[in-house]
């Protein structure tokens, strides 16, 4: 697959890093905003971000700025509220939003992982507008059925959910297997 991954200034750059670590078999075009670089200094002990190509948000003349550059999907993780608002309202003031706009208007998958809590009404309305435009809204919301034990387990779950949406196989978390029922001898069966 040919993918665009963008990291913006919301907290959660470790999710993007884990996603990138699981996309090394694919062609990945990475965009990192200036704000994301500042946040990453606080969140990542190892700033390595594996990607085939890297761009800055100001490179508006890059190949990603054109809808003729064919990709399979784009992921913005974490997606800051500023970037969410820009995507939702088509304000392509940088390469990240321009690439997202191209992704939507060409009918490709755009996955937004908005990272904020609690949510303001403006953020909720912006998520609604982005969804109506065709984006997939995938906030990093925790599930507990697989009994995470570490922060890495939680990070793997979030990255795995993004891979699920992209249709990429992985084993980052244990999938729900349904309720367990008692057999005749009292042992658990699935």
pLDDT tens digit string along 112-134? Answer: 999 999 999 999 999 999 999 99
Query: Please, how many CA atoms are within 13 Å of residue 105, restricted to the half-sphere of its CB?
Result: 16
pLDDT in tens, 16-56: 999 999 999 999 999 999 999 999 999 999 999 999 999 99
Q: Is 114 helix (H, G, I), strand (E, B) or coil?
A: strand
For residue 101, is it left (φ>0), alpha (ψ between -120 and 50) or beta?
alpha
- Name the β-bridge partners of 24: none
Entry pTM: 0.92
Q: CA 153 to CA 174: how far, in whole Å?
A: 10
CATH architecture of 2-176: 3-Layer(aba) Sandwich (3.40)
End-to-end CA distance of the chain: 35
E strands, 42-146, in order? 53-56, 73-79, 109-114, 136-137
Please give the pLDDT value at position 4.
98
Q: CA 172 to CA 103: how far, in whole Å?
A: 27
How open is the CA angle 174-52-11, to the nearest 5 degrees?
55
Q: CA 20 to CA 54: how far, in whole Å?
A: 12
């Amino acid at each position: 697959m040919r993918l665009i991954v963008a990291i913006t200034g919301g907290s959660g750059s470790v999710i993007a890093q884990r996603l990138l670590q699981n996309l090394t078999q694919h062609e990945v075009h990475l965009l990192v905003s200036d704000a994301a670089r500042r946040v990453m200094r606080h969140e990542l002990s190892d700033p390595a971000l594996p990607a085939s190509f890297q761009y800055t948000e100001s490179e508006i003349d890059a190949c990603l700025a054109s809808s003729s550059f064919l990709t399979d999907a784009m992921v913005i993780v974490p997606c800051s509220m500023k970037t969410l608002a820009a995507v939702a309202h088509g304000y392509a003031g940088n390469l990240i939003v321009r690439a997202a706009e191209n992704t939507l208007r060409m009918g490709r998958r755009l996955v937004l992982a908005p990272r904020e809590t609690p949510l303001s009404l403006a953020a909720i309305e912006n998520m609604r507008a982005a969804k109506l435009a065709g984006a997939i809204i995938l906030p990093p919301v925790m599930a507990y059925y697989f009994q995470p034990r570490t922060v890495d387990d939680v990070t793997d779950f979030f990255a795995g959910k993004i891979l699920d949406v992209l249709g990429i196989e992985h084993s980052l978390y244990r999938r729900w297997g349904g309720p367990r029922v008692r057999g005749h001898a009292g042992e658990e069966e699935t």
